[in-house]
Amino acid sequence: MATAIAEPTGRAVIEEAHPQSFLRKYLFSTDHKVIAAQFLFYTLFFLMIGGLLAVLMRQQIAWPTEPLTLGGILPETMVAKATDGAYMLPEFYNALVTMHGSVMVFLAIMPMLVGVWANFLIPLQLGAHDMAFPRLNMLSFWTMVPAGILTLASFFVVGGAAGAGWTLYAPLSARPDLTGVEMGQILWLIALVFVGLSSILGSVNYITTVINMRAPGMTWFRMPLTVWALFITAILGLLAMPVLSAAGIMLIFDQTIGTSFFIPSNAAGDALSGQPLLWQHLFWFFGHPEVYILILPAMGFTSEILAVGSRKPVFGYKAMVWALISIAFLGFIVWGHHMFQSGMNPALGLAFTVSTLFIAVPSAIKTFNWMGTMWRGNLQLHSAMLFAVGFVAMFAIGGLSGVFMASTPVDIYIHDTYFIVAHIHYVLFGGSLFALFGAIYFWFPKMFGRMMNETLGKIHFWLTLVLFNVVFFPMHGVGMAGMMRRIYDWTGYQHLEGIGATNQIITIAAVGLFASGFLFAFNFFWSIWKGEKAPDNPWGASTLEWSVPSPPKHGNWSEIPVVYHGPHEYSHPDVTDKDWLGQNERPDVVTPAAGSH
């Protein structure tokens, strides 16, 4: 009898059909998983840069009249060298404040939330081979590369890096004579345009993929909450980023070719036609949706991880989806609450106050549903779960302090103080970054095929949780005491005389928090090569990505899966051999529970 030679099928077909050079496989790849990994390494690098800038800044705040530790190694554009040491220059401090915020928002957190996880998870969780536009996807990463190079280069040009704050308020950002920064500001604006291009390219891809490439049976309300969050975030990005990009280009024109979109008068005092308020409106029309771009994906990850870690379905799945949609919609009509102090008709201020307070409703729905998800669950307190729980707690604090600021009379008092700094960090660090750490611990096995070390992960979590709160909770207090958010040397102000010790404690904790990041980095890189090999589904999770090998091969699926169930089927009463039901498990092969029909 002749032996039939099996035709290569499925994944093998994909592998053989696409022999790839090293460059195309790992550098200029169109594979969404490789691009996700590229974004991950990129954003982790800039997370470290952003943290380093923060530590430098904190040293100045804690000891404003003392020389900078190791300041002697910095160039004269950053420090002033005196006989007793090197003192940080105020203009370098301005650059630190500006670039810490800018790097963290645009080069670390946003691309880590979206560039990494939308790329990695959308095709895998929807059952698609790849993104709708793989080459656009590659371009969206590579447009981030010049943005990073320009940002780093800006620290070393004449006048140093941008110093007008991450909000780039004109005319500070538009007139070099006001800050002493010219080329650094222009470089950062060009970088921002690249970031905008990358984000727009990515958003088009994510939206198209979610709408068109869902596997059979993957109805809208069977999509994992992570995909929902990333989908809505992509819509926000597509609508908001072009506004910032256009405004950024206009600001570049003001700096370079003599326009005056935002400049009311030049250095000689001649009146021009520019409107600084126009910049504020354009920036915050982008900026507030940006806040939700930075938190909605984190909410998605948290929902997912909490369900898996609690062994329960997400409490109120549809309410969670509608809450996401509500937050996104409301996010577009609240930008004026950043401008209460800029001069505004009180009636308009009231409208922005009310619309902002409305956001508390869907936010509360989500928070209570997360608690409902955990309630009486079989909690698995692994590192990812710890960070997800930490997210809920920290986001609640950040959300509540946000309600303070939504109220105009309160905001007038705390405007531009450290209270604002505390709030934004409870949302962006306690919120977004906690969820991101959770996401990395959770999906690392799928991405790299290895497990991260749990002990190190838990130490990292507790250090982060404790130190984060020591750093940022007291900032509410120093803010209420009147400490200005961007101040270089507070010692000249009588009303700030009592804040020295608090600031020193904050700084010491901040250094510890930064150092704890290296523990994470060690665990991350060590685990890539030396971590325990990961099974396909180490967490017992039900979404589609866990039904393929770790890591998935090029093309993900040999055959597109068929989806039969919702995304978070844990402790399902119809199965007995395990406590979860995969989305693509056929109902007729599921082991029924005793007594069930």
Size of the site for another protein (CB under 8 A): 46
Residue 5 is a binding residue for another protein (CB under 8 A): no
User: Least distance (Å) from another protein to the CB of residue 225?
Assistant: 35
Cβ(262)–Cβ(250) below 8 Å: yes
Return the H-helix or E-strand segment holding 463.
Answer: helix 454-480
Cβ distance to another protein smaller for residue 9 or 491:
491
User: Least distance (Å) from another protein to the CB of residue 89?
Assistant: 6
Cβ distance to another protein smaller for residue 201 or 447:
201
User: Least distance (Å) from another protein to the CB of residue 385?
Assistant: 39
- Residue selected from 180, 372, 512, 540 as contacting another protein according to rule CB under 8 A: 180
Q: What letter would DSSP give residue 51?
A: H
User: Least distance (Å) from another protein to the CB of residue 258?
Assistant: 14
Residue 82: beta bridge partners? 85
Residue 95, token pair as written in the block: 């650059």
Residue 501: beta bridge partners? none
Contact window for another protein (CB under 8 A) among 149-157, 387-395, 407-415, 479-487:
149-157
Pick from 245, 242, 49: nearest CA to 149: 49
Residue 253 is a binding residue for another protein (CB under 8 A): no
- Residue selected from 12, 13, 17, 149 as contacting another protein according to rule CB under 8 A: 149
Cβ distance to another protein smaller for residue 3 or 83:
83
Cβ distance to another protein smaller for residue 143 or 583:
143
SS3 state at 227: helix
User: Least distance (Å) from another protein to the CB of residue 425?
Assistant: 27
Cβ(207)–Cβ(123) below 8 Å: no
Site for another protein in 439-458 (CB under 8 A): none
d(C-alpha 380, C-alpha 522), whole Å: 24
Contact window for another protein (CB under 8 A) among 155-163, 363-371, 442-450, 529-537:
155-163
User: Which amino acid, 344?
Assistant: M
User: Least distance (Å) from another protein to the CB of residue 136?
Assistant: 11
Residue 551, token pair as written in the block: 């890591």
Residue with tokens 């010219």: 182
User: Least distance (Å) from another protein to the CB of residue 411?
Assistant: 28
Cβ distance to another protein smaller for residue 90 or 477:
90
Contact window for another protein (CB under 8 A) among 111-119, 181-189, 409-417, 512-520:
181-189
Site for another protein in 106-145 (CB under 8 A): 135, 138-139, 142-143, 145
- Residue selected from 47, 53, 89, 487 as contacting another protein according to rule CB under 8 A: 89
User: Least distance (Å) from another protein to the CB of residue 491?
Assistant: 11
User: Which amino acid, 377?
Assistant: G
Q: How far apart are the first and last CA of the chain?
A: 46
Residue 23 is a binding residue for another protein (CB under 8 A): yes
Per DSSP (E only), the strands in 63-156 are 79-82, 85-88
User: Least distance (Å) from another protein to the CB of residue 505?
Assistant: 24
User: Least distance (Å) from another protein to the CB of residue 152?
Assistant: 8
d(C-alpha 313, C-alpha 375), whole Å: 11
Cβ(169)–Cβ(276) below 8 Å: yes
Residue 183 is a binding residue for another protein (CB under 8 A): yes
Cβ distance to another protein smaller for residue 141 or 426:
141
Residue 179 is a binding residue for another protein (CB under 8 A): yes
User: Least distance (Å) from another protein to the CB of residue 138?
Assistant: 7
Q: How many CB atoms lie under 10 A from the CB of residue 273?
A: 9
What are the start-end ranges of the H helices in 332-433? 346-374, 383-406, 408-414, 418-427
Cβ distance to another protein smaller for residue 64 or 101:
64
Residue 489 is a binding residue for another protein (CB under 8 A): yes
Residue 143, token pair as written in the block: 């447009």
Cβ(177)–Cβ(193) below 8 Å: no
Pick from 234, 233, 245: nearest CA to 190: 245
- Residue selected from 74, 80, 272, 339 as contacting another protein according to rule CB under 8 A: 80
Contact window for another protein (CB under 8 A) among 156-164, 372-380, 536-544, 577-585:
156-164
Cβ distance to another protein smaller for residue 176 or 402:
176
Cβ(262)–Cβ(278) below 8 Å: yes
SS3 state at 533: strand
d(C-alpha 439, C-alpha 5), whole Å: 43
Residue with tokens 């506004």: 243
Pick from 399, 519, 523, 392: nearest CA to 464: 519
Binding positions for another protein, rule: CB under 8 A: 23-24, 28, 65, 76-77, 80-84, 87-91, 135, 138-139, 142-143, 145-147, 149-150, 153-154, 156-159, 176-180, 182-184, 187, 190, 267-268, 488-489
